[in-house]
Structure 1
Amino acid sequence: MTEAEPLVTVEQGVLRGCTKTSLDNGEFLSFQGIPYAKPPVGQLRFKAPQPAGKWQGVRDATTECDECCSKAFKQFFGKEDCLYLNVFTKHLSSKKLKPVMVYIHGGGYVTGSSKAAIYGPEYLMMEDIILVTFNYRLGLMGFLSLNDGSLGVPGNAGLKDMVMALKWIQRNIKQFSGDPNNVTIFGESAGGSAVHYLMLSPMAKGLFHKAIAQSGCATNGWAISTRHGAHLLADVLGIHAHDERVILEHLQQVSAEELYEAAEKVWDPFYIGRYRPFAPTIETTTHEPAFISEHPLKIIKSGRYNKVPMIVGSCSREGMFVYAMCTANMKKNHLLSDETLVPASLNLRKGSGKYKEVVEQIKRFYFKGHDPKSNIDDIFRVYTDNFFFYEIYRCTKLHLENNKHPIYFYRFCLETELNFMKILYGYTEKGACHADEFSYLFKNSGTVEVSDRDSPEMIGILRMVKLWTNFAKHANPTPDKKDPILPVEWKPISKERFYVLNIDEDLTLLDEHPEKEAMGLWDTLHQRYSVTSKL
């Protein structure tokens, strides 16, 4: 074996990788396009993944495989045969096994992939860890659900793909010098909510040991689906049948591209006022194990979940993303529409007296009688809180009640040329947009090249990489009190103090979250109206 052609043997066969270079010019080994499940095609479409088969000879693992099917910007992307993962490591035969970090990409459960153009490993591979990234099924392929339990399509196939990937890691990661007993899952946006779902699922028990949920949790309104998507899709395709077995047979025969074209006509509102047709769902009775069969809040409150050390947090102005989404369609501007203000979880009938009262209460708090459009930051704040932050904050406080492991909370505010999303939208207002932080963990071809070690971009990268990998190694993001790149001790939250690490040009530990007053408003609304608050 040469450095240019590393070989590794996993359960299915032999892989040939290649050597690449990290940000600090160190070498690491790259193995891409490794199948972790059978291609989910034909009779396996919409169903739980099956273990991957073996291959003969040496499999080329030097290039990426296709991303999973999705449709964005009027274009169809990807293939059904997409359940592949990538492993990056510094050593194949280290005597000491290394911490494993498994990243789950975002994209609202409808788009995205593990492609290195967005999630390049060069930053994280400065540290002596094993990094794994992978694809999972998206949209209707990953989240179509049927009520007939005998059909084997209860939903959450995309989340079950994640479980299958984690099982593959448990069986094979030692071959890459990875420690199967020290696995950290982390993800952003939909990936952050998926991390949270994996904590709540009995299927994932024992498959990971730490969790980092960035800008997402299982109770965010956009991370929960109703169970009507399949019937809506059937109507669009002209499948006029009530029998779900008949519907499934037809849906398994239609081409993937035609399915995704039809799905575009099934309105998928990324608005908190409506539940989505294709996203994680609470499974009904089935003949196979359920990923999740109770409401996430009920599971958290019961304490029946996978308790591990956690890092949780969000960007300071997540709502910049929502603002852009609401104004993207100039023919139908949804900015400040009621459905973008009032969460469906409040269980209020749209247009009712109570509903209108809540709309006005929210507007009074955030806009204080002024024209909302006179201060765009007020709009960013309301969308940050109701689309993302409140549910993250609420779930974190609930976990504190019965998770004895440390929970670290952060607020990402840093603004440099690496803030990919904010730069993409052209915002100049203060704050970090949704998805701005992952470009400090992964090399992103859409951002600037970083070389100046004293630049704010490089310092931001070094800090984020160090915090995240320290946590993976030690369950403590700041174990070294003398580390000059991390001049603060990040304390876990407690019932007495809700500590928040403010990640900006300087690192600052706050005694409480700066949006505490706003959280009080949402607490009051949920206690008064939400049925989930009584679970």
Structure 2
Amino acid sequence: MVRPEVTVDQGTLRGSVGTDLRGDSFFKFQGIPYAKPPLGELRFKAPVAPDPWTGTLDATKEGEVCYHRDPFKPGGPSGSENCLFLNVYTKKLPGVGNHKPRPVLFWVHGGGFFFGSGNEDLYGPDFLITEDIVLVTFNYRLGILGFVNFEDPSLGIPGNAGFKDQVMALKWVQKNISKFGGDPHNVTIFGESAGGASTHLLVLSPMTKGLFHKAIAQSGCALNPWPRGTRGCKHLAPSMGLEGATEKTIYDTLMTKSVEEIFEIQHDLMKRSGPCEHRPLGYVIERSCPEAFIDDEPMKLISSGRFNQVPFMLGFTTAEGMLFDLFFKELGDIREIVPWSFGYEADAPETDLVAHRIQEFYFGDEEYSSKIVSKKYDMFSDCHFIYGICTTALAHASVSKTPTYLYRVSIETELNFLKKFLKIQVPGVSHLDDVGYLFKNITTPEIVPNSIEDTSVRRFVKLWTNFAKIGNPIPGQNDPLLPTVWKPVTNENLDFLDIGRDLVPRRNPYPDRMKFWKQLFAESPAGQGKPT
């Protein structure tokens, strides 16, 4: 087959041809620059629109990823600062037959804002592209490169550059996706983990109006405690040997560092973070900033209705907390489970009391041991993911004019990626396991037709692409893959769909556990309206 060519605003691209799960061909255009390289004076700054090129750009290979250490691969860190590239996958191009523009799925990768990319090692298009959609994946800046911020306005770095990269990629889609057969008026953003939190923040951002039309946040949202970053950069000083330095000095020093040296500073910074604190690097509120990515607290934006009111789907897996085995096996300081958003000081006696209540609720009088490891997973799941996701679903449903759908993933097969990688034996679906049903990855086994893996992939793909097409994941009961009804959340009922070997409508997930966290928050300084 002749290699496909497409002309976008910047110039002409030459792509390649792939084969999907069903054996059908599709077109691949990879390594497309969607912004200027963020180098030199553009380091840490908001992205700038890309320059045109002359001739034909080879779009048959993925672009460089942002410099990071990949926990799923051996070896040290790799990548580049020049990493703002995206990939487009499509079954048909305009002018080949009479085809209507197709819905666009825009994937935001996870990785805690510190690692990951949109590339095919984890996010191969082979499953989703079996449906009549156009898929976009991309990279954004990570760690200090994407999320450092300075309070000194003269430096022009208010923060959230990594999120502004995501906005720039969406703007590129609006300008160019029709050239690939995509519909710029029907774009669904979706992502998992940090990508799920990013998706929710894009919903809340004033910068994104009109750039997308539906959203799916998988295992992450803005109300989880971990996406929030620290305002200002003084916390960087100890990791740079610059205690007491001004922001200008810190900035000037960072600008002299290589990307490898910045990564080492970042590594030291992460080791210094403690309980009841924002993470060092994540989203920050940009108050009084004319080009703010997010300009107020997420819950205030939701409750006031000041967000992009689009059909919204979000959910979680049954054992999100298995994720933490990727980084540490032991429980550690129980105070670290007390969210900063509750408003406690790390060394306050109240913090110890709350930590003791959490430990008693999950473990009772038992000392923590491997025998009760599943309870550890429940605790991490609830604190870091499920409570915030359920709170988000109810909050959106109470004010939005568009539907909110909630799901729980309970399916366990050979496609559960992270649980298999970590060799975890206890029951439950880990964080990241759902991604293995939407994307082909480096561990995907051969999928036997009509196996549970095959059926589950087809079911996930159908749910997600139905939502992308019309904003309803199960529009009727005529599809044997989806033989049920999925009710949206209301401000009174937390209805959800359990996605297991069967699809089962349910209501109010883990009521006792959610009641416990709701009560903890209500009794906290933040829950009582005290400043935090």
**TM bracket, shorter-chain basis:** over 0.9
Match of 2:36 among 17, 35, 38: 38
Structure 1's unaligned 5+ residue stretches are: 328-332
Match of 1:509 in 2: 505
SS of residue paired to 1:71: coil
Residue segments in structure 2 that go unaligned for 5+ positions in a row: none
Q: Is the 8 A contact 2:335 2:351 kept in 1?
A: no
SS at match of 1:319: helix
Quick check: 2:237–2:250 contact (8 Å CA) kept in 1?
A: yes
2:287–2:296 Cα contact (<8 Å) kept: no
Give 1:467's aligned residue. 463
Task: Tell me if the contact between 1:37 and 1:50 (Cα under 8 Å) persists in the aligned partners.
Answer: yes
2:395, 2:491 within 8 Å by CA — same for their partners in 1? Answer: no
Counterpart CA distance in 1 for 2:12 and 2:412 is 44
- Structure 2 CA distance, aligned partners of 1:272 and 1:476? 40
State the match for 1:330 in structure 2.
none
Q: Aligned pair 1:495/2:491, yes or no?
A: yes
Q: CA deviation at 1:341?
A: 2.3
The C-alpha deviation readout for 1:450-493, integer Å capped at 9, x for no partner, is 1x122111111111000000000010111131111111121111
Aligned to 1:55: 53
Alpha-carbon deviations, 1:333-375, whole Å to 9, x = none?
4x05223321111112234332222122212222233334232
Range moving further from structure 2, 318-327 or 179-188: 318-327
Give the SS at the match of 1:339.
helix
Q: Summarize the Cα distance change of 1:271–1:486 in structure 2 as closer, same or farther, 3 Å threshold.
A: farther
Matched, 1:166 2:167: no
Provide closer, same or farther for how the CA distance between residues 241 and 375 of structure 1 changes in structure 2, counting only shifts above 3 A.
closer
CA change 1:192–1:269 in 2 (3 A) is farther
- Aligned residue in 2 for 1:86: 87
Residue correspondence of structure 1 range 312-461 to structure 2 within 5 A = 312-327=314-329, 333=330, 335-373=331-369, 374-450=371-447, 452-461=448-457
For residues 472 and 431 of structure 1, the distance between their equivalents in structure 2, rounded to whole angstroms, comes to 28
User: Bigger CA drift: 437-446 or 86-95?
Assistant: 86-95
Deviation at 1:240, TM superposition (A): 6.2
Q: Specify whether residues 56 and 81 from structure 1 end up closer, same or farther in structure 2 by C-alpha distance, changes over 3 A only.
A: same
| Equivalence for 1:75 | 76
Q: Which residue of 2 aligns with 1:523?
A: 518
| Alignment match, 1:250 | 253
User: In the alignment, what sits opposite 1:307?
Assistant: 309
**Do 2:276 and 2:345's aligned partners in 1 also have CA atoms closer than 8 Å?**
no
Give, in whole Å, the separation in 2 of the partners of 1:460 and 1:262: 43
Name 2:218's counterpart in structure 1. Answer: 214
How far residue 205 of structure 1 moved from its aligned partner, in angstroms, is 1.0
Residue in structure 2 matched with residue 152 of structure 1 by the alignment: 156
Range that drifts further, 439-448 or 315-324: 315-324
- Aligned-pair distance for 1:270? 8.3
Distance of 1:504 and 1:170 partners within structure 2: 35
Paired with 1:479 and 1:252, the residues of 2 have a C-alpha distance of: 53
Q: Which moved more, 1:307-316 or 1:235-244?
A: 235-244
Give the whole-Å Cα distance in 1 for the aligned partners of 2:404 and 2:273.
29
Say if 1:377 and 1:258 are closer, same or farther in 2 by CA, change over 3 A: same
Question: What SS does the corresponding residue of 1:222 show, helix, strand or coil?
Answer: coil
Alpha-carbon offset, residue 414 of structure 1: 0.7
Paired residues of 2:45 and 2:157 also in contact (CA < 8 A):
yes
RMSD: 1.8
What is the identity, as a one-letter code, of the residue corresponding to 1:81?
A: N
Match of 1:291 in 2: 293
The yes-or-no answer on 1:97 pairing with 2:98 is no
CA shift, 1:285, in A, is 4.0
C-alpha distance after superposition, 1:137-160 (max 9, x if no partner): 000000000001121101100000
2: CA distance between counterparts of 1:498 and 1:298? 21
Specify the alignment match of 1:112 in structure 2: 116
Q: 1:281 to 1:354 in 2, by over 3 A?
A: same
Equivalent residue letter for 1:368 = G
CA distance in 1, matches of 2:114, 2:33: 21
Please state how far the C-alpha of 1:322 moved relative to its aligned partner.
2.1
| C-alpha distance after superposition, 1:56-86 (max 9, x if no partner) | 0111101101101123567221101110000
Cα separation, partners in 2 of 1:232 and 1:501, compared to 1, 3 Å: same
What are the Cα deviations for residues 176-227 of structure 1, in whole angstroms up to 9, with x where unaligned? Answer: 1111110000000000000000011100111000000000001211100112
Q: Give the TM-score of the pair, scaled to structure 2.
A: 0.95
What's the offset of the Cα at 1:398? Answer: 0.9
Checking the alignment, whether the CA contact within 8 Å between 1:92 and 1:176 is kept in structure 2 is yes
- SS of equivalent residue, structure 2 residue 30: strand
Question: 1: distance between equivalents of 2:511 and 2:243?
Answer: 51
Alpha-carbon distance between aligned partners in 2 of 1:309 and 1:139, rounded to the nearest angstrom: 30
Distance 2:465 2:376 in 1: 34
Question: Counterparts of 1:496 and 1:227 in 2: how far apart (Å)?
Answer: 36
Q: Is the 8 A contact 1:268 1:277 kept in 2?
A: no
Deviations 1:284-337 (A, max 9, x none): 444x4111121111111111111110111000000111244332xxxxx4x052
1:510 and 1:533 map into 2 onto residues whose CA distance is 32
Residue 27 to residue 325, structure 1, CA distance change in 2 (3 Å): same
Which secondary structure does the structure 2 equivalent of 1:484 belong to? coil
